[in-house]
Chains A and B, each alone.
Chain A
Amino acid sequence: METETKNINKATENWTKRLNKIGLSPLGMGLLVVVALIPMVITDEFILRLLISALMFAGLAMAFDFTAGFINIVNFGFAAFMGMGAYTSGLLVVKLGWSPLMTIPLGGFMAAILGFGLGLLTLRLGGIFASCMTWFVALAMMSTTGNLVDLTQGYAGITIPLLFESVTNWPYYYIILVMVFVIYILLVCITRSHIGLAFRAIGQDLEAAASSGVDATYYKVMNFTVSCALAGFLGAFYAHFIGILTPTLMHTSHTVEIMAIAYIGGRGTIWGSFAAAMVMIPAMEFMKDLLEFRMILYGVMMILVMIYYPKGLAGLWEKLIHLFSPKSEDTQGMPNGAGNKIMKRI
């Protein structure tokens, strides 16, 4: 009898470990099930749409955190890569009549190519330089998109066919849920592998990493390309979810929004950005009556996090976990435990 329970215990432990490897804890799994069941309970389409956009921002913020939090490069043209994916996919459907299911990955692919090229040209240089260059390129892309009136209909906006013909939102919900889930697993797997170790090393001290044999440019470009590809991928989904595209999608203010979420969530954690987006996007929506005040709140939060708590929400959560269970130093609690382990090994 006793051995049986032991066996079961061992089995669950093994499973927990395995799940931890891909960045899931029992708590995370539980939340995932809850999130997956939401459309069955909530029938309000407005709330569902809100959750869809929260999930989308979560994906974007995670992709942003993947560069900002790990290799310490701020991609200041992030929204343009999203727009690149959105326009690629949208235009292929509108002009050539391809199926959205085929063009959404293609949108990600185009953004990846752009990211690869830009990364190759700019990332061997310093952080601020790379930020400015991505910003300038994003500005140029925005005006180009606005000016190619024949193709994109400029600032008037172009109508994109939706992914589904029905008016309900739950199919979108599940698609974006799966997309974000896959992105999360992918990013966590990368950051926990030896590649992730190289990323962290580059982000913390570029010269030290380079002198111990890490090919900094190679890893930086790789990281940047993955992040851009994900942005394009999510942008392409956005195009077929919203149904209309204007060049303002690429505006700097969108980048700033994603950036704020990622940094408030906590840099270098991936799940922190996810959590922050899921909390902040609905919260911002419900505070809509406050108009400018909520944006001011955004700014204030960002500044407070930067000055007083650079670890962000993720750091706060870990502190809490630490307070309540002293032995949680291991991989229990939130997935970042494994990350800590790696850090300790360094």
Chain B
Amino acid sequence: MQKVKGFLLIGIIMSILCSSLMVITAAEMTAEEIINKRDDNEYFDTAQMEAEMIIASGSRIITKTMVAMTDKKNSLAEFTNPQDRGTKFLKREDDLWMFFPDAEEIIKISGHMLNQGMMGSDFSYQDVMESDKLTDLYDFEIIKEEELDGRLCYVLEGIAKEGVKVSYYRRVSWVDKERFIGLKEELYAQSGRILKETKVNKIEEIEGRLIAVDSVMENKLRKDTYTQFIITQISFNPEIPEETFSLQNLR
């Protein structure tokens, strides 16, 4: 069965979230094998989740809640907090559609809008949509090993492959050496400037998988802002009808 990467609000978070419990000796692994090992745990047929997105800027904090489903390369997310209740996003391949609940209109999002923060968060629409395997997009190498929050990690650097369209030219990932779970990731522009940083606060074992249920993304270009993403419920491989990921289901 074809394995696919999930939505989990969102590609970038998932890129550091999941891991297996298998222990593999470091000496035998290349950077690509480490990333693939980590990525293998991001792949599932379907997933369904409930989550909270806490957006902070200075002392002001706004919380948004959502439910999301993913099936292969398609995703559907619906916001449930009072201000955004009923707002839905449908991602199909490279296209993103938005449903406005008051007007009951479905509008296709322009391509250039995909780099802006989704619903005011530090996650861009592009972060949501970047669902290809990381090893297809980046050339990775191990640059060092170091301890992070008491866990020994591989530190891997990924540089975007030539001709491949990605949101971030370079990414540096801290992967737990024992559990193969991403604990931290830094995302850089081609100019070398750091754009975003994601760190995992809490990991839980759910349905036999290690899941980062609490993680934080900081937009490093802005002061005193961050977006915290908390998974409150998740199930893997539920049955999701094919028509779920359609414009008709956005209505």
Chains A and B are bound partners: no
Which positions in A face B, CB cutoff 8 Å?
Answer: none
